[in-house]
Amino acid sequence: MITIKNYWITDQPVDVSECIKKVTRSEAGAISTFIGIAREFTYGKRTLFLEYDAYVPMAVKQLARIGEEIKAEWPNADVAIAHRIGRLDISDVAVAIAVSTPHRDAAFKASRYAIERIKEIVPIWKKEHWEDGTKWIGDQKENVSYEKKIPIKEEMS
Amino acid sequence: MIELLFFAQLQEIVGSSKLTIDANNISVHEIKEKYLSKYDVKELLNQAMIAVNEEYAKEDAIVSNGDVVAFIPPVSGG
Protein backbone atom coordinates (compact mmCIF):
# COMPACT_ATOMS: atom_id res chain seq x y z
CA MET A 1 0.00 0.00 0.00
CA ILE A 2 1.28 3.45 -0.94
CA THR A 3 -0.22 6.40 0.91
CA ILE A 4 0.02 10.18 0.71
CA LYS A 5 -1.98 11.53 3.65
CA ASN A 6 -5.64 10.72 2.84
CA TYR A 7 -4.95 9.03 -0.51
CA TRP A 8 -3.92 5.43 -1.04
CA ILE A 9 -3.69 2.53 -3.49
CA THR A 10 -3.90 -0.96 -2.04
CA ASP A 11 -4.16 -4.60 -3.12
CA GLN A 12 -6.30 -5.31 -0.06
CA PRO A 13 -10.08 -4.81 0.31
CA VAL A 14 -11.08 -1.14 0.61
CA ASP A 15 -13.12 -0.13 3.64
CA VAL A 16 -15.16 3.02 3.00
CA SER A 17 -15.44 3.66 6.73
CA GLU A 18 -11.68 4.33 6.74
CA CYS A 19 -12.25 7.14 4.24
CA ILE A 20 -15.16 8.51 6.27
CA LYS A 21 -13.07 8.50 9.44
CA LYS A 22 -10.31 10.50 7.78
CA VAL A 23 -12.64 13.37 6.80
CA THR A 24 -14.78 13.45 9.94
CA ARG A 25 -14.15 16.68 11.86
CA SER A 26 -16.07 19.23 13.87
CA GLU A 27 -16.28 21.86 11.08
CA ALA A 28 -18.09 19.42 8.78
CA GLY A 29 -21.86 19.23 8.53
CA ALA A 30 -21.95 16.76 5.65
CA ILE A 31 -20.00 13.80 4.34
CA SER A 32 -20.70 12.50 0.85
CA THR A 33 -19.30 9.14 -0.17
CA PHE A 34 -18.96 7.50 -3.54
CA ILE A 35 -18.22 3.80 -3.86
CA GLY A 36 -17.37 2.21 -7.19
CA ILE A 37 -17.85 -1.57 -7.27
CA ALA A 38 -17.14 -4.34 -9.76
CA ARG A 39 -20.15 -4.79 -12.04
CA GLU A 40 -21.14 -8.22 -13.34
CA PHE A 41 -23.16 -7.27 -16.42
CA THR A 42 -22.24 -4.50 -18.87
CA TYR A 43 -24.80 -4.18 -21.68
CA GLY A 44 -25.63 -7.85 -21.25
CA LYS A 45 -22.04 -9.09 -21.29
CA ARG A 46 -21.06 -11.02 -18.20
CA THR A 47 -17.86 -10.16 -16.36
CA LEU A 48 -16.28 -12.95 -14.31
CA PHE A 49 -13.84 -10.73 -12.45
CA LEU A 50 -11.78 -7.56 -12.90
CA GLU A 51 -8.09 -6.93 -12.70
CA TYR A 52 -6.78 -3.44 -11.92
CA ASP A 53 -3.24 -2.24 -12.52
CA ALA A 54 -1.77 1.14 -11.64
CA TYR A 55 1.33 3.25 -11.99
CA VAL A 56 1.16 3.30 -8.23
CA PRO A 57 3.39 6.20 -7.11
CA MET A 58 2.00 8.50 -9.78
CA ALA A 59 -1.59 7.36 -9.19
CA VAL A 60 -1.35 8.28 -5.51
CA LYS A 61 0.05 11.70 -6.46
CA GLN A 62 -2.84 12.24 -8.88
CA LEU A 63 -5.40 11.28 -6.23
CA ALA A 64 -3.80 13.84 -3.94
CA ARG A 65 -3.94 16.38 -6.76
CA ILE A 66 -7.68 15.77 -7.14
CA GLY A 67 -8.03 16.42 -3.42
CA GLU A 68 -6.19 19.73 -3.84
CA GLU A 69 -8.39 20.69 -6.79
CA ILE A 70 -11.46 20.03 -4.65
CA LYS A 71 -10.12 22.12 -1.78
CA ALA A 72 -9.46 24.99 -4.19
CA GLU A 73 -12.98 24.81 -5.63
CA TRP A 74 -14.92 24.12 -2.41
CA PRO A 75 -13.35 25.91 0.56
CA ASN A 76 -13.10 23.98 3.78
CA ALA A 77 -13.59 20.60 2.11
CA ASP A 78 -11.65 17.56 3.22
CA VAL A 79 -11.13 14.54 1.00
CA ALA A 80 -10.06 10.90 1.29
CA ILE A 81 -9.76 8.48 -1.63
CA ALA A 82 -8.76 4.79 -1.69
CA HIS A 83 -8.40 2.69 -4.85
CA ARG A 84 -7.88 -1.04 -4.95
CA ILE A 85 -5.70 -2.87 -7.49
CA GLY A 86 -5.20 -6.55 -8.32
CA ARG A 87 -8.04 -9.03 -8.78
CA LEU A 88 -11.55 -7.90 -7.81
CA ASP A 89 -14.54 -10.19 -7.72
CA ILE A 90 -18.05 -8.99 -8.58
CA SER A 91 -19.32 -6.37 -6.08
CA ASP A 92 -15.89 -5.81 -4.55
CA VAL A 93 -15.14 -2.14 -3.86
CA ALA A 94 -12.78 -0.69 -6.48
CA VAL A 95 -12.78 2.91 -5.26
CA ALA A 96 -14.06 4.72 -2.19
CA ILE A 97 -14.28 8.51 -1.93
CA ALA A 98 -15.36 10.56 1.06
CA VAL A 99 -15.71 14.34 1.05
CA SER A 100 -16.66 16.38 4.07
CA THR A 101 -17.79 20.00 3.88
CA PRO A 102 -19.63 22.42 6.14
CA HIS A 103 -22.84 22.08 4.03
CA ARG A 104 -24.26 19.25 1.90
CA ASP A 105 -24.35 20.86 -1.54
CA ALA A 106 -20.58 21.11 -1.82
CA ALA A 107 -20.11 17.56 -0.50
CA PHE A 108 -22.34 16.09 -3.23
CA LYS A 109 -20.70 18.14 -5.97
CA ALA A 110 -17.16 17.44 -4.82
CA SER A 111 -17.58 13.67 -4.55
CA ARG A 112 -18.98 13.63 -8.09
CA TYR A 113 -16.06 15.75 -9.25
CA ALA A 114 -13.60 13.33 -7.65
CA ILE A 115 -14.84 10.22 -9.46
CA GLU A 116 -15.08 12.00 -12.82
CA ARG A 117 -11.54 13.32 -12.43
CA ILE A 118 -10.24 9.86 -11.44
CA LYS A 119 -11.49 8.60 -14.79
CA GLU A 120 -9.51 11.33 -16.55
CA ILE A 121 -6.12 11.68 -14.93
CA VAL A 122 -5.30 8.86 -12.50
CA PRO A 123 -3.09 6.17 -14.07
CA ILE A 124 -5.15 3.11 -13.15
CA TRP A 125 -6.41 0.54 -15.66
CA LYS A 126 -9.15 -2.04 -15.53
CA LYS A 127 -8.98 -5.36 -17.36
CA GLU A 128 -12.26 -7.13 -17.95
CA HIS A 129 -12.22 -10.91 -17.72
CA TRP A 130 -15.19 -12.36 -19.60
CA GLU A 131 -16.19 -15.93 -20.28
CA ASP A 132 -14.79 -15.62 -23.80
CA GLY A 133 -11.77 -13.39 -23.36
CA THR A 134 -10.14 -10.36 -21.76
CA LYS A 135 -9.65 -6.69 -22.56
CA TRP A 136 -7.92 -3.70 -21.05
CA ILE A 137 -10.53 -0.95 -20.89
CA GLY A 138 -9.65 2.62 -21.83
CA ASP A 139 -11.35 5.97 -22.21
CA GLN A 140 -14.60 5.29 -20.39
CA LYS A 141 -15.64 8.90 -20.92
CA GLU A 142 -16.22 8.41 -24.60
CA ASN A 143 -17.93 11.76 -24.96
CA VAL A 144 -14.61 13.48 -24.30
CA SER A 145 -11.90 13.30 -26.89
CA TYR A 146 -8.66 12.04 -25.46
CA GLU A 147 -6.71 15.12 -26.50
CA LYS A 148 -8.80 17.28 -24.21
CA LYS A 149 -8.05 15.04 -21.26
CA ILE A 150 -4.37 15.85 -21.21
CA PRO A 151 -3.98 18.13 -18.22
CA ILE A 152 -3.38 21.65 -19.45
CA LYS A 153 0.00 23.17 -18.83
CA GLU A 154 -1.21 25.49 -16.12
CA GLU A 155 -2.42 22.47 -14.19
CA MET A 156 0.93 20.75 -14.28
CA SER A 157 3.07 21.25 -11.25
CA MET B 1 20.12 5.69 -19.43
CA ILE B 2 16.42 6.52 -19.65
CA GLU B 3 13.76 4.21 -18.30
CA LEU B 4 10.55 3.68 -20.29
CA LEU B 5 7.44 2.33 -18.53
CA PHE B 6 4.47 0.68 -20.20
CA PHE B 7 1.06 -0.17 -18.79
CA ALA B 8 -2.06 -2.15 -19.61
CA GLN B 9 -2.40 -3.09 -23.28
CA LEU B 10 0.80 -1.26 -24.19
CA GLN B 11 2.68 -3.41 -21.72
CA GLU B 12 1.22 -6.60 -23.19
CA ILE B 13 2.16 -5.68 -26.75
CA VAL B 14 5.65 -4.42 -25.93
CA GLY B 15 6.04 -7.57 -23.85
CA SER B 16 7.60 -5.80 -20.89
CA SER B 17 6.69 -3.26 -18.24
CA LYS B 18 10.03 -1.53 -18.57
CA LEU B 19 12.71 -0.81 -21.17
CA THR B 20 15.97 0.94 -20.54
CA ILE B 21 17.49 2.91 -23.40
CA ASP B 22 20.96 4.34 -23.70
CA ALA B 23 20.04 7.90 -24.63
CA ASN B 24 20.36 11.44 -23.31
CA ASN B 25 18.82 14.84 -24.10
CA ILE B 26 16.15 13.42 -26.35
CA SER B 27 12.49 14.35 -26.79
CA VAL B 28 9.76 11.87 -25.96
CA HIS B 29 8.66 12.15 -29.57
CA GLU B 30 12.13 11.10 -30.73
CA ILE B 31 12.10 8.17 -28.30
CA LYS B 32 8.87 6.97 -29.87
CA GLU B 33 10.31 7.24 -33.38
CA LYS B 34 13.71 5.80 -32.63
CA TYR B 35 13.07 3.09 -30.06
CA LEU B 36 9.42 2.12 -30.22
CA SER B 37 8.60 2.03 -33.93
CA LYS B 38 9.55 -1.66 -34.04
CA TYR B 39 6.58 -2.53 -31.85
CA ASP B 40 3.04 -2.64 -33.20
CA VAL B 41 1.88 0.13 -30.89
CA LYS B 42 1.76 3.28 -33.01
CA GLU B 43 -1.94 3.96 -32.48
CA LEU B 44 -1.80 3.08 -28.79
CA LEU B 45 1.20 5.36 -28.30
CA ASN B 46 -0.60 8.20 -30.04
CA GLN B 47 -3.51 7.82 -27.61
CA ALA B 48 -1.22 7.62 -24.61
CA MET B 49 -0.48 10.45 -22.24
CA ILE B 50 3.15 11.01 -21.29
CA ALA B 51 4.57 11.30 -17.80
CA VAL B 52 8.15 12.25 -17.01
CA ASN B 53 9.26 11.41 -13.49
CA GLU B 54 5.63 10.84 -12.41
CA GLU B 55 4.31 14.18 -13.70
CA TYR B 56 2.32 14.68 -16.90
CA ALA B 57 4.39 16.14 -19.70
CA LYS B 58 4.15 16.82 -23.41
CA GLU B 59 5.65 14.88 -26.24
CA ASP B 60 8.21 17.57 -26.95
CA ALA B 61 9.59 17.32 -23.41
CA ILE B 62 13.33 16.72 -23.43
CA VAL B 63 14.47 13.94 -21.14
CA SER B 64 17.93 13.04 -19.99
CA ASN B 65 19.97 10.50 -18.12
CA GLY B 66 18.11 9.07 -15.12
CA ASP B 67 14.66 10.25 -16.19
CA VAL B 68 11.68 7.92 -16.18
CA VAL B 69 9.23 8.22 -19.06
CA ALA B 70 5.84 6.53 -18.69
CA PHE B 71 3.41 5.92 -21.54
CA ILE B 72 -0.07 6.07 -20.07
CA PRO B 73 -2.87 4.59 -22.18
CA PRO B 74 -6.40 5.96 -21.65
CA VAL B 75 -7.12 5.28 -17.99
CA SER B 76 -10.04 3.29 -16.63
CA GLY B 77 -9.95 3.51 -12.85
CA GLY B 78 -12.95 3.98 -10.64
Q: Which long-range contacts link A74-77 to residues 24+ away (Cβ below 8 Å)?
A: A74/A101, A74/A106, A74/A109, A74/A110, A76/A27, A76/A101, A76/A102, A77/A101, A77/A106, A77/A107, A77/A110
pLDDT tens for A109-130 read: 999 999 999 999 999 999 999 9
Test the B interface: residue of A83, A136, A143, A156 with most B CBs within 10 Å: A136
pLDDT tens for A69-121 read: 999 999 999 999 999 999 999 999 999 999 999 999 999 999 999 999 999 99
- Determine the average pLDDT of the residues in A62-71: 98
Q: What value of ipTM does the predicted structure carry?
A: 0.95
Q: What is the pTM of this model?
A: 0.91
Q: Which residues of A touch B4 (CB under 8 A)?
A: none
Residue B8 pLDDT class (50, 70, 90 cuts): very high
Range with lowest mean pLDDT among A14-18, A59-63, A143-147, B22-26: A143-147
Nearest CB partner across the interface for B74, out of A118, A138, A153: A138
Q: Is there a contact between A121 and B56 if contact means CB atoms under 8 Å apart?
A: yes
Q: Is there a contact between A55 and B78 if contact means CB atoms under 8 Å apart?
A: no
Q: How far apart are CA A112 and CA A140, in angstroms?
A: 15
Which residues on neighbouring strands pair with residue A144, listed in sequence order?
A: none
pLDDT at position B18 is: 98
Nearest CB partner across the interface for B55, out of A115, A126, A156: A156
pLDDT at position A139 is: 67
